[in-house]
């Protein structure tokens, strides 16, 4: 049995002429009725958790979703796996949260669509069939939270959306693709990764700011936000370098006792202490900032949010 947690997203939207674009329209049960062949993969029970565009999922809703997944997996009628239909805009944040705070024993698979349910090129049916196949596959236990999208299987800690509109919108980011789904067949290309969960906050209480740096930035935005957040992630240039004014503002955050994580605006590679000039990552780290590690800015933001909510250091 696969438990389908329906949270909404483009996969269940339809165009609305009055609104001028796609809006939430279908329930989870209505979505399932539109897709042929799922019943031949595994029996599915549907839970309508909520018809949300993923940009409407705040920290309270994200933690409530995490708690619901935990309840389902630990309940008396525990399923073989859980599939979550989700909007693609913030799917990576949800996948990261679940992967970081839930054990890997049972598969939890997130998926969605880039086209609405009335589009001739709707990709929702194939993606949902693939997600159910991954959740039901005998090789999936022990792999934990994954993303199944456009035939790719990605670890929940690695999956990032890299294209705004292509059907193949997700990639493994700083990790590696785990496997593929081809004609309904699930094939893994590597053994299950080592467990990386263990952050266990009671809820997501920390407010973390995400600040993008621009050329010539004087740090004014960081200064105006000092004291409004419990920590900050700075999206820096290259390997983690910022203008002098931003470096000074970061220093003021650190001096006030607020953690600052340095991520990169680059799609590939990690931040590193290669440059020691004013504003270089070497000086930022020496002042007390932390490098993001193998995480995109959105993943670093979620990591710091979870860590501060759990009373733990970033990345520990």
For the chain, give every residue range classified as CATH 3.40.50.1170.
Answer: 2-188
- Structure confidence at residue 196 (pLDDT): 66
Please state, in angstroms and rounded to a whole number, the distance separating the CA atoms of residues 178 and 281. 32
Q: What is the pLDDT along the chain (316 residues), one digit of tens a residue?
A: 999 999 999 999 999 999 999 999 999 999 999 999 999 999 999 999 989 999 999 999 999 999 999 999 999 999 999 999 999 999 999 999 999 999 888 999 999 999 999 999 999 999 999 999 999 999 999 999 999 999 999 999 999 999 999 999 999 999 999 999 999 999 999 777 776 666 789 999 999 999 999 999 999 999 999 999 999 999 999 999 999 999 999 999 999 999 999 999 999 999 999 999 999 999 999 999 999 999 999 999 999 999 999 999 998 7
CA–chain centroid gap for 166, Å, is: 18
- Structure confidence at residue 190 (pLDDT): 79
- Structure confidence at residue 200 (pLDDT): 84
- Structure confidence at residue 195 (pLDDT): 65
For the chain, give every residue range classified as CATH 3.40.50.40.
Answer: 208-310
pTM recorded for the entire structure = 0.96
Instruction: Give the active site residue among 10, 85, 94, 305.
Output: 10
Dihedral sign of CA atoms 88, 92, 97, 102 in order? positive
> By the 8 A CB rule, do 88 and 112 touch?
yes
H helix intervals, the chain: 28-33, 38-41, 59-74, 91-101, 124-136, 220-225, 244-255, 281-287, 297-310
Please say if 10 is a catalytic residue: yes
> By the 8 A CB rule, do 154 and 171 touch?
yes
- Structure confidence at residue 316 (pLDDT): 78
- Structure confidence at residue 193 (pLDDT): 72
Q: In terms of DSSP bridges, do strands 185-188 and 179-182 run parallel, antiparallel, or are they unpaired?
A: antiparallel
Decide yes or no: CATH 1.10.3720.10 for domain 2-188.
no
Domain 208-310, CATH class in plain words: alpha beta
For residue 160, the SS3 value is: strand
Please state, in angstroms and rounded to a whole number, the distance separating the CA atoms of residues 221 and 244. 14
Question: Which of 232-257 are b and which e, b meaning 16 or more Cβ less than 10 Å from the residue's Cβ?
Answer: bbbbbbbbbbbbebbbbbbbebbeee
- Structure confidence at residue 90 (pLDDT): 98
């Amino acid at each position: 049995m696969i438990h389908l947690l329906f949270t909404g997203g483009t996969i269940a939207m339809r165009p609305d002429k009055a609104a001028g674009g796609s809006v939430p329209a279908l329930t989870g049960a209505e979505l399932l009725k539109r897709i042929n062949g799922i019943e031949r993969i595994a029996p599915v029970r549907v839970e309508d958790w909520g018809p949300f565009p993923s940009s409407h999922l705040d920290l309270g809703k994200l933690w409530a979703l995490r708690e619901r997944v935990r309840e389902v997996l630990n309940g008396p009628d525990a399923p073989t796996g859980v599939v979550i239909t989700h909007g693609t805009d913030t799917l990576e944040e949800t996948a990261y949260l679940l992967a970081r705070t839930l054990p890997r024993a049972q598969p939890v698979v997130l998926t969605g669509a880039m086209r609405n349910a009335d589009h001739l090129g709707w990709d929702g049916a194939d993606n949902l069939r693939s997600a159910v196949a991954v959740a039901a596959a005998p090789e999936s236990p022990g792999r934990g939270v994954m993303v199944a999208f456009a035939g790719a299987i990605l670890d929940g800690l690695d999956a990032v959306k890299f294209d705004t509109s292509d059907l193949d919108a997700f990639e493994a980011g700083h990790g590696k693709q785990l496997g593929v789904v081809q004609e309904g067949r699930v094939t893994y290309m590597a053994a299950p990764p080592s467990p990386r969960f263990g952050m266990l906050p009671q809820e997501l209480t920390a407010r973390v700011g995400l600040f993008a740096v621009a050329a010539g930035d004087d740090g004014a935005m960081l200064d105006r936000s000092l004291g409004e957040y419990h920590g900050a992630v700075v999206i820096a240039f290259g390997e983690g370098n910022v203008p002098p004014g931003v470096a000074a503002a970061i220093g003021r955050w650190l001096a006030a006792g607020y953690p600052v994580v340095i991520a990169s605006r680059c799609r590939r590679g990690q931040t590193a202490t290669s440059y020691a000039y004013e504003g270089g990552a070497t000086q930022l780290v020496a002042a007390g900032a932390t490098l993001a590690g193998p995480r995109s800015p959105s993943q670093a933001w979620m990591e710091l949010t979870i860590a501060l909510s759990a009373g733990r250091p970033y990345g520990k």
